[in-house]
Structure 1
Amino acid sequence: MPVIRSALRRARLARRAVRYEALARYRAQPIRAGEVLYESFAGSGALCNPEAIFRELLAASDLPGLRHVWVLAAGAHEDPIVAEFRGDPRVRFVTRDSLPYLRAVSTAEYLVNNATFPHWFAKRPGQVYVNTWHGTPLKTMGNDMPDGGREGGNTLRNFLQADFLLSQNAFMTDTMYASAYRLRGQFAGRVIEEGYPRVDRQDLSAAEHDAVLARLESAGLRVRSRRVVLYAPTWHGDRFADPADDVAALLDRVERLQSLLGEGFAVLLKTHQILERYVSTTAGLAAVLVPSNLPTNLVLGVTDTLITDYSSIFFDFLATGRRIVFHVPDEEEYDAARGRYFGDDALPGPVTADVDDLARMVAAAPDDPRLRADVRDEWQRRFTPHGPGATRRVVDIVFRRDADGHRVRDLSAQEKPSILIHVGNLASNGITASALNLLRALPPERYDVSVAYTRTASRQQAHNAQQIPAHVRQFPRDGGMNGTKWRHVVRRRRYDLRDAAAHSAEPRQRALWDDEWRRCFGSASFDAVVDFSGYSPFWATLLLHSPEARRTIWLHNDMVAEVDRKVGDRRPLATSLPSIAALYPEYDQTVAVSPALASINSTRLPAEVLRGRPIRSALNLIDANRVRRLAAARPFENEPEPEGGRRPDWVRALERHDDAVWFVTVGRYTREKNQDLLVRAFAEVARTDPRVRLLVIGHGPLRDDLEALVDELGLGGIAFITGPLDNPFSVMRSADCFVLSSSYEGQPMVLLEAAVVGLPIISTDFASIRDALPDGMIHIVPSEVAALATGLRLFLEGRVTPSPLDTPTYNALALAQFEAVALGPRPSGSPAPSSTGAQEPTSRVVEIG
């Protein structure tokens, strides 16, 4: 089996390599003038706004030279549109994710999509991208929904690459585009606020009305001479363990409603496209299910009553003036998990959770006050204000380039300085903690703030991304760079040779990086670009390809010591950090997190890296309110359930509140953190004082070694290697003294956190410890077992006490320092940006360590 799995993995990698090579070559081909590509719901069919625009263009006598390409998923080629246009030389079809698809997306002049292109998509110069989206939102979107910043990254990326976004009304523009997806101040395209093309499809002639009924009848749905009731709920995410359960529940509801309404009504079900893959296996659905390849707005045109929950479909149906009923059996659960922009009382129709009551609303007389006709009329004026003809107006603006007299909005005006901050991979470490504190401290009324990071499946990243303030725009990078295999071989070879300048000195490499910037950030531009992590060669290079900005890169540690740091027999940073240091001259400023650390790096880094420019300093910030709030919880409260469901022994011991004295430390289990020194010093103290206990909180490669050391020294039951905690502060608050045993650090965030919790602090002596906190707050001892043991005994004797940290004064100073270095004027001697945004250095190789 391992051999088979390995072979399958190699085959997948080979197929992916072929696809990326083909994509790179297609992206080098000329743009095909007059070619229009359409995609709806990832190829589910010829549907929604793209379908309406397609038909308008086909009928436009003044646009005869256009050629049309429809994207259909592998299982969607039975769509009636294929038969309808078979033999038409103007129209062809490609299968999504096929090589012809890659070519069409890469070379079509016009791209029309109602959702998003895949993560590899990067609009090329000369292409015109129209993102129509697929509805005015009732449910929250983007940054307004839980974890929306991270989960909505590809949507934001697509929006920022678009030339035009379609909007049904001003609410959609302001609430979804400008606010929820944070496009205000960053979207360089235009928002066409002329209504939705797909709504035009609802306005049916008598012949068209009859044709839609005929299509429904041909699908096995009995609709002739009956009042059509369309039930169209939205997707409920992970509400059910198995989405098939959702389909079964919907079918039960439809059957119950049909039995209550009787033969005069035809209750039909339109499922969300995410559920369509499950419907074919559910018995009984064929008699009620609207075919997925029948455009929904055609069905709305023959519908008497619409029933929905949180779907945007009802905004379209408002244009008909007919009744809308909201059926919300899971309202509290949905609002808690997702949220809505409007409450029940504001909606343009009655709201009920009961199927019997639902039937009464459907059958009620038109003038029944429970139907809220007056509210429905008001909503019609507000949300579908522009009347029929939206398709023609959109075609005028995009294809005829005639915007005169049309509603076209510009969101690009930047009213405050914009900052992009690369925050690393959001692992639970000091850099992430300090980055999150900085994001919370930057006033949203003064700054437009964005963060960038490479998205991973890490639980730590997901947890920490949820801590990013909601006003901060998130750019989670998915996928890899485009470009031919050979160009990436060259890129990696330059990296191995530590030739940092190649990214901008060689035109093909520069084009590769410029393209990646556009793929990740679209049209976004920033006044300041900050590599706050400073540990990723990829990001340190990519940020140099931003449009012109003040660029700074942070030093969180003694970088020469980091180069020499070992994990086992490896030096994991021996190649990457010299490559990053070689880029320092291309940044406007290098910034250390304390004056002492600035001095250390100024002394130790090679002269060709610094080029005579001083390293500035900006202290880390501390979110004292958050630390205190989390510290107030019970130890281990809300932590992931341990294996076996049993709380760890140390938690129960900590909660006994006996005469035990608890020392605690927090940090990665790595060699430079030197926790083995602390464990040995603790063992010396424990020999003579049975009250003492030790908690070593963290994660990392040396966990097994530390646990073995605890066993070797006979410390079982009094010294605990806890592993990582989402909330270490509650444990710190319950302990008595904080101890740091590192060989070197930058400005340790954990010391600021310990001071806020109110703990006495003992630390070993290292180069940057002296200004880690204000004078006198740390009891510093030599980095030796005996000296650290003496420090622990001094605490037990009452001679090491806590000192209060004036956090408002400290944070005001730290924020002012950040603003000065990240947003101040570019210092004299800064590298001049090239026309692409990257610098023009000469080739150089740097050796460090």
Structure 2
Amino acid sequence: MIKKLKKKYKKLRKCFKKLSFNKMKYRKYIKDLPINEKSILLESQHGRTSNGNMYYILKELLTNPSYKDYDIYFTVKECNKNNIFKALEKYNLDNFKTVSIYSKEYYKVVATSKYLFNDTTFLPFFIKRNGQVYTNTWHGTPLKCLGKNSNADAHLLGNVQRNFILSDYLLYPNKFTMDHIINDYMLENICNSRPILGGYPRNSVFFNDDIRSQVREYYEINDDIQVIAYMPTYRNHSVPQGKTIENTYVLYHLLELDKRLTDKQIMYVNIHPLASSRIDYKMFKHIKPMPKYFETYEFLAATDCLITDYSSVMFDYALTKNKIILFTYDEEEYLNSRGTYLDINTLPFPLVKDVDELLNEIITDKSYNDSEFINNYCSYDSKYSCKNLCDTVILNKKNIMPTFEIPKNNKENVLIYVGNMAKNGITTSIKNLLLNLDLDKKNYYINYIPRKIKRNLSQFEDLKSIVNYIPIQGKMVLTLKEEIIYHLYNNKFISASTMAKHLDTAYDLELKRSFGDINFSHAIQFCGYEASPIMKYSKFKCNNIIYVHNNMVEEIRTKNNQRKDVLSYAYNTYDKVAMVTVDMSESVNHFCETSNKLVANNIIDYNRVITMSMDELFIDNNTIINTGLEKMKTILNSNSKKFITIGRFSQEKGHLRLIDAFEKVWLEDNDTYLFIIGGYGKLYNSTLEYAKSKICSENIIIIKSMSNPYTVLKKCNYFVLSSYYEGFGLVIAEADMLGLPVISTDIDGPRQFMLKNNGALVENSTNGIYTGMIDLLNNKVKCMNVDYKKYNENAVKQFENLLA
């Protein structure tokens, strides 16, 4: 006991070392400090830069007398603190304060400023208070796909989506950008922000007739010098030794260009700081890094030509009417990995693939017509864009900029937590449910934690093709007292109910942090596992439902993967406890005598299973077959009798005792085989070794990771469910619909289904499984032939009754 307490104490100490005490202050500021009606905070890329929209909004606030009584703050990283002052010193503007990100002062300003502006996102800790006004300007017209359409990271959109939902105003430079962001971040029906169609603050500089001469005079650039800006997109393709492919290509191109540029040409390069830091610009005669004294767009206004590739800067720079060249030397590789909204070949700008073509375009006058492009993407830009935005957001002036409402269909929103999306019965059941529901009746959103699904992205792709989604981004923001209580709970010093009682306010803020003011009619903890989401979903003020997919008493006894106090709290707190089979009732009663239990059977996608079973036998790249593919095919196509089971390599599936039972069968009939198919599980290796130890090992085929096991299932003769305990045992139904006689151990989960459909239950033991297998061989077990269409219709009604 003392040893156990010492271990917990060490764990607690380790946890507290990781705490951010400044972030804890943020919660205190939210609670104790009033909102400062005359405070404005501007933040760009988490303080990494002072360029772009925020710079121009800052200039407007500092030069417009309407804001002389406001406290103005600008977020910076400590190392960049002086850059913003240097950029503004030429205008004698310094009546503002910088706040270093993560500092105590930063959290205080975020918590208390009335007006918040950001061109990307606030970090996941951010909770918008009632009374704060948050404007998100974003940072460009997108060529590359965003949000759910991004090829690379669609599952990671959570914090961006969350910031859009929390915003009061969303600024878009054109309808193209507005439509794509609303669609691809799935904002319809859940976002109350008001989109503004207005020019970008940073583009107002292109209407300043004096800025070109000011920049050129400062850098002593004569009028007869051609100034070229090169602004390529950053490519983060890592290679060994900390170098990048981008660095290699950029350096080569710059060296070649420098040789061929004349003394009447200067190229200024603006590339990602990581790549730029590895280039020694002293080696060049005609190429320089873009200077920092002027903001990037101020400097661009003084150039004669822009070279870029896939960057949104092309949409803004078009306002200058100067020539734009797209240097797309890696077009196929780059765009295949990202995806684009527009075909780059349809843009009016010349595309070049090598340095020779690029040089030719640099010295050739502009010969293309970009008027339609400018009309489509730049028609809202003006000299007064920045002033108009501030007047609208801060001074609350009406009818200055076109504002809209994000569409709503007035249907109820239903949130469903789906867990880690592993290849298991729970993921299959939610997929089947969503495929069979009438999705026109309500708006369904799946919910998940991104880091937990990174190994199951193929399952995520399947689900996101059916419904929209809202990831959970970041963690609860707690006070020091709450952190102590939470860690005491985590280390089982206090119960879930005690923790929940003391953290009631924290959970209210956590729901606001995660979902803003989205109105959900129902919040469903469909996974039924994972303590943190169980506790979080219990705090929704709407109707909340928790599913029970398995015998949780046995889960605790055999795996210790659940907390009894969490389940007891949940089953007593949620409005409804949905059991996938009536057999779960006794298990639920073990935690509480509740009257809110309902049965909601799993949907069975019989059409998909039957269709997939007719496919050619397909082996995935990660499929492992202990006998080899060709031998397995020979066995499957033989007249030998073949038993099969499908289930993860886990203790409760009873694979080892199934092997023992099969050995006894094989001793009586050598012309029999056993197939075991599993997707994952800790016991794969031990199951493999156990099978090898048997004299019938040549007749045991073990398959790991097979995306379509139904092609094998269809070719087998009998299905055996050998589990010690189960939820429902979906594979029983899948085997039945493919015409296989089935036996199952007599356990909660499959019991009622088998009894109702005249299925064969056997004693929950090795000998019971052996007896059942002999009965199968002797044709004493018949197919159940369930009417799965009728079964599903009833299951859909059960689910809809949960939402009634």
**What band does the TM-score fall into relative to the shorter chain?**
0.7 to 0.9
Q: What corresponds to 1:839 in structure 2?
A: none
Q: What corresponds to 1:664 in structure 2?
A: 644
Q: Distance in 1 between matches of 2:385 and 2:708?
A: 52
Cα offset, 1:121, TM superposition: 2.0
Structure 1 residues 236 and 434, CA gap change in structure 2 (3 angstroms): farther
1:360 lines up with 2:360 in the alignment: yes
Cα offset, 1:229, TM superposition: 2.6
Q: Following superposition of structure 1 onto structure 2, how do residues 354-753 of structure 1 map, counting pairs within 5 Å?
A: 354-366=354-366, 368=367, 371=368, 373=369, 376-388=370-382, 389-411=384-406, 413-456=408-451, 459-470=454-465, 472-491=467-486, 509-546=503-540, 548-563=541-556, 565-567=557-559, 570=560, 572-584=562-574, 587=575, 589-594=576-581, 596-597=582-583, 600=586, 606-607=592-593, 609-610=594-595, 613=596, 615-622=598-605, 624-625=607-608, 628-629=611-612, 632=615, 634-639=617-622, 648-657=626-635, 659=638, 661-691=641-671, 692-703=673-684, 705-707=686-688, 709-719=690-700, 722-725=703-706, 728-729=709-710, 731-732=712-713, 735-753=716-734
1:765 lines up with 2:760 in the alignment: no
Cα offset, 1:127, TM superposition: 2.4
Q: From 789, 800, 803, give the equivalent of 1:819.
A: 800
- Per-residue CA deviation, residues 194-229 of structure 1 (Å, 9 max, x unaligned), is 1211111223333x2233336667xxxx78632223
Q: What corresponds to 1:336 in structure 2?
A: 336
Asked if the contact 1:697/1:728 (under 8 Å) is kept, the reply is no
Structure 1 residues 716 and 106, CA gap change in structure 2 (3 angstroms): farther
| One-letter identity of the residue aligned with 2:801 | A
Q: Distance in 2 between matches of 1:12 and 1:501?
A: 22
1:283 lines up with 2:259 in the alignment: no
Q: From 196, 205, 212, give the equivalent of 2:209.
A: 205
Cα offset, 1:773, TM superposition: 7.3
Q: What corresponds to 1:38 in structure 2?
A: 42
The alignment's C-alpha RMSD in Å is: 3.6
| One-letter identity of the residue aligned with 1:740 | L
Structure 1 residues 64 and 202, CA gap change in structure 2 (3 angstroms): same
Cα offset, 1:510, TM superposition: 2.2
1:107 lines up with 2:122 in the alignment: no
Cα offset, 1:61, TM superposition: 0.5
Cα offset, 1:323, TM superposition: 2.6
Q: Distance in 2 between matches of 1:418 and 1:301?
A: 47
- Per-residue CA deviation, residues 753-772 of structure 1 (Å, 9 max, x unaligned), is 44566655332222332554
- Per-residue CA deviation, residues 772-831 of structure 1 (Å, 9 max, x unaligned), is 479658543332323322333444456657676765554444334323322x2xxxxxxx
Q: Distance in 2 between matches of 1:443 and 1:626?
A: 21
Structure 1 residues 204 and 633, CA gap change in structure 2 (3 angstroms): farther
- Per-residue CA deviation, residues 57-106 of structure 1 (Å, 9 max, x unaligned), is 11110221112222222432341525746997731223223333333323
Give SS of 1:247's match. Answer: helix
Q: What corresponds to 1:315 in structure 2?
A: 315
Q: Distance in 2 between matches of 1:147 and 1:390?
A: 34
Q: What corresponds to 2:224 in structure 1?
A: 225
Q: What corresponds to 1:90 in structure 2?
A: 95
Question: Could you tell me the TM-score, scaled by structure 2's length?
Answer: 0.88
Q: From 116, 124, 129, give the equivalent of 1:119.
A: 124
Q: Distance in 1 between matches of 2:711 and 2:603?
A: 22
Asked if the contact 1:635/1:651 (under 8 Å) is kept, the reply is no
Give SS of 2:275's match. Answer: helix
Give SS of 2:358's match. Answer: helix
- Per-residue CA deviation, residues 551-610 of structure 1 (Å, 9 max, x unaligned), is 3222223444445x323xx574433322322223xx1x322223x336556766633x32
- Per-residue CA deviation, residues 492-533 of structure 1 (Å, 9 max, x unaligned), is 6678588666677x5x63211011001111232222221212
Cα offset, 1:357, TM superposition: 2.8
Asked if the contact 1:261/1:363 (under 8 Å) is kept, the reply is no
Cα offset, 1:720, TM superposition: 5.2
Q: From 115, 127, 141, give the equivalent of 1:136.
A: 141
| One-letter identity of the residue aligned with 1:653 | K
Cα offset, 1:381, TM superposition: 1.1
Deviates more, 1:455-464 or 1:37-46: 455-464
Q: Distance in 1 between matches of 2:354 and 2:613?
A: 41
Residue correspondences, number: 785
Asked if the contact 1:231/1:306 (under 8 Å) is kept, the reply is yes
Q: What corresponds to 1:828 in structure 2?
A: none
Unaligned segments of structure 1, at least 5 residues: 1-6, 825-849
Cα offset, 1:345, TM superposition: 4.5
Structure 1 residues 436 and 752, CA gap change in structure 2 (3 angstroms): same
Deviates more, 1:454-463 or 1:80-89: 80-89
Structure 1 residues 104 and 718, CA gap change in structure 2 (3 angstroms): farther
Asked if the contact 2:329/2:352 (under 8 Å) is kept, the reply is yes
Q: Distance in 2 between matches of 1:50 and 1:70?
A: 9
Deviates more, 1:188-197 or 1:710-719: 710-719
Q: Distance in 2 between matches of 1:36 and 1:522?
A: 21
Cα offset, 1:232, TM superposition: 2.1
Q: From 171, 174, 183, give the equivalent of 1:169.
A: 174
Structure 1 residues 129 and 359, CA gap change in structure 2 (3 angstroms): same
Give SS of 2:395's match. Answer: coil
Q: Distance in 1 between matches of 2:297 and 2:11?
A: 44
Asked if the contact 2:445/2:470 (under 8 Å) is kept, the reply is yes
Structure 1 residues 748 and 247, CA gap change in structure 2 (3 angstroms): same
Unaligned segments of structure 2, at least 5 residues: 1-9
Q: Distance in 1 between matches of 2:337 and 2:754?
A: 41
Q: Distance in 1 between matches of 2:469 and 2:334?
A: 24
Cα offset, 1:237, TM superposition: 4.6
1:349 lines up with 2:349 in the alignment: yes
Q: What corresponds to 2:6 in structure 1?
A: none
